[in-house]
Structure 1
């Protein structure tokens, strides 16, 4: 591994960028991650309206153009390293091809093509970043973006409460258009702070302030899913701790942990309706079960191919049927696996799970081999949360969302960290 700025793993404080090109690359990376988080800009365009207007949505699409322009340029600049990394993941390549092919049978071909281009562009940028930046630099940048979003959310809550709180329910949404977006922001911040804390990538007082902000904002957000996933995130650290034990003790500890999880989770699953009622929640999961019953009928009509990547909920007649059936307008299926079946069918779901579960297996092998391996630790924590979250939310393979960007890093970064790398930057520009 070369000792250039982007390849080094020096702990905080990291030496300042030595060239203007290095500084611009870091700023561009952070800006791209911030845009993909859907923070601030969509809320600013929404204002005090209940939903985004068509004109506002068109304006927000302009934010996707830099990625579409940058991806082919970055691919040309480091084509050998990027293609070499992607070729190590043939299932990911097949998934990308299937996404493009779905435009042939899509109910909205234009939407599918646009979103397929965005998915491919962002995946290429992730691959470029994985072979250009060290895991430490990437993790530090991601944590800094997450902390910035937390800080801006607190600032909006104090200075712009009319925007920071949802007008109908009064729940806190921070710099996002919905409280669920803020809940996701808290979850990702908690994960990235935990990774940065373990690797000592940032000052501990700064990370403690981030944890304090998460605790302070979790209650006003009012998202039970977020609270549950934060608890799951805390529990996911147990296997990472156990993996650092001597081999025989670690094997016994993992078995004990597995049995303990089954003995706890199985009764909870069997008594889920009574628990939901005891917590004062709706057994329909805020209308989700009714929505799922409705869209399952559509899935059964095209079980193999689906209706085209990201296209189903863009059909006006579908939106009208959903509103008439369940009484509210659902922008997605609120279940990532059903969303995959709707968009890409059983073939797409199998490919997606092959990519994600394969990456999870590699992450487990990585932290068993080295419990302090940063890419494996991040990949294990994030992919587990990503797969859990998509039982009640729909951001599986979201083409321009930060959730897919992080999933891409979780898939590619462990592989990239094991490959020999060319120097990422030369004096005055990119290699």
Structure 2
């Protein structure tokens, strides 16, 4: 008599959870991160630091470059800085190849909005006023796009947050040590602004993003929560010391917006009622104590920087000139990052009596570059990224998505006064790597079935018995 058939069980059912973990994951290093992560983080930090930072920046008078230096930069720039973009692009390509076993999970609409601004930028070479400059900038932007996709595909969302904390924290730490070593770290001095290794305004953006990444990780990383909260507090302190008004204001508004996304309706109602009560109590106290609230508030908002407050540090002179050139080519622009030629820089410097190589407004900068169409495509990509990250945050409660959402919202706010957050910058590279992860599919956190006792299938009784 034949024995009844026994359905084979998956071999994974007979492997203990510990063996599964060993078989499916790399050996973990510091903060529970893999060697691959640390090799990539060190390489990325090296490229970013050489590209965006200067150890002796805090010694520059008023943090300003001279006109000759700016014109030299327009003419060709630093060769080492240009090479770092190829370095970052090479890292991205290596990570993209290394992630070949991670399945592609393309979300068509999000992927399309991610790619369209770059496609339009390449198209703009057809009408660029300086095709050579346009081509160089397009190659750089393409290297950064490859880096973003490679990083997004290779790492999990948690690892992307850690990458932001490690790279930005390393740059900020070197900046503090550089100021201490050069004797320029004097927070007790009246006119002091913390700059570290770059201008206080982009340094403020670094610090704000560092705070976002640290708080996002602290939400789930119980083992390192104290360290991460300490990083966020240190970043907030240094941000105040930069006296960057736009960066600080954008941080406050962004934090409130992300908090509304991550909290329950009950908490929102409680926070709203509590905030209203505190505001009423504050107004009553001001009235009873007869404090000149408007003057005090104005001084607090200016963060001790009263000079040129009425002209927004010269921005209201720059913006009309930028708009004048935008009106000449409103829809298509002057070609991707091709407007700031030596002739335009010289003309604007003669008009303003001080040199500039940016519009100090991200929206105007993009319109000078690729016109209203380019700005529309860029904003479409940003809002699509915010929507995708927020939707993932609601579905999975993954706080790493809060970091992506925060940086993208922050970029929209800070772009009102700075061009940096709409340009090539590690802060935006980190956020767009997260969007690429959501758009094209990236590595997920490894999980293993809970350990269960080894099961042995029942054997049929022999016919002889």
What displacement does 1:78 show?
A: 5.0
Answering whether residue 432 of structure 2 is matched by residue 408 of structure 1, we say yes
- Partners of 2:401 and 2:124 lie apart in 1 by 32
- Partners of 1:122 and 1:86 lie apart in 2 by 21
Which residue pairs with 1:197 in the alignment?
218
What displacement does 1:120 show?
A: 1.7
- Summarize the Cα distance change of 1:312–1:133 in structure 2 as closer, same or farther, 3 Å threshold: same
- Partners of 1:170 and 1:420 lie apart in 2 by 44
**Which of the residues 147, 150, 160 maps onto 1:125?**
147
Q: Tell me if the contact between 1:68 and 1:117 (Cα under 8 Å) persists in the aligned partners.
A: no
Which residue pairs with 2:79 in the alignment?
58
Q: How does 1:257-276 map to 2 (within 5 A)?
A: none
Which residue pairs with 1:185 in the alignment?
206
What displacement does 1:164 show?
A: 9.5
Q: How does 1:326-341 map to 2 (within 5 A)?
A: 326-341=352-367
Which residue pairs with 1:223 in the alignment?
244
Aligned-CA RMSD value: 4.0
Answering whether residue 291 of structure 2 is matched by residue 291 of structure 1, we say no
- Partners of 2:391 and 2:41 lie apart in 1 by 29
Q: How far does the alpha carbon of each residue in 1:151-200 deviate from its partner, in whole angstroms, 9 at most, with x for none?
A: 222212211235999xxx75321122x22232122112111111121121
- Partners of 1:363 and 1:63 lie apart in 2 by 29
Q: How far does the alpha carbon of each residue in 1:314-366 deviate from its partner, in whole angstroms, 9 at most, with x for none?
A: x1121112112222211211111111101011111111111111111222323
**Any stretches of 5+ residues in structure 2 without a counterpart?**
1-19, 281-293, 447-465
Q: Tell me if the contact between 2:193 and 2:200 (Cα under 8 Å) persists in the aligned partners.
A: yes
- Summarize the Cα distance change of 1:57–1:230 in structure 2 as closer, same or farther, 3 Å threshold: same
Q: Tell me if the contact between 2:152 and 2:437 (Cα under 8 Å) persists in the aligned partners.
A: yes
SS of the aligned residue for 1:172 comes to coil
**Any stretches of 5+ residues in structure 1 without a counterpart?**
18-22, 265-271, 424-431
Which residue pairs with 2:457 in the alignment?
none
**Which of the residues 371, 394, 397 maps onto 1:368?**
394
TM-score normalised per structure 2: 0.72
- Partners of 2:334 and 2:215 lie apart in 1 by 39
Answering whether residue 309 of structure 2 is matched by residue 309 of structure 1, we say no
- Partners of 1:376 and 1:91 lie apart in 2 by 18
Larger Rg: 2
TM-score normalised per structure 1: 0.77
Q: How does 1:80-99 map to 2 (within 5 A)?
A: 85=106, 88-99=110-121
Which residue pairs with 2:125 in the alignment?
103
**Which of the residues 20, 26, 36 maps onto 2:38?**
26
Number of aligned positions between the proteins: 392
What displacement does 1:420 show?
A: 7.8
What displacement does 1:9 show?
A: 12
Q: How far does the alpha carbon of each residue in 1:294-324 deviate from its partner, in whole angstroms, 9 at most, with x for none?
A: 11011011011101111111x1121112112
- Partners of 1:218 and 1:359 lie apart in 2 by 26
**Which of the residues 378, 381, 391 maps onto 2:416?**
391
- Summarize the Cα distance change of 1:410–1:289 in structure 2 as closer, same or farther, 3 Å threshold: farther
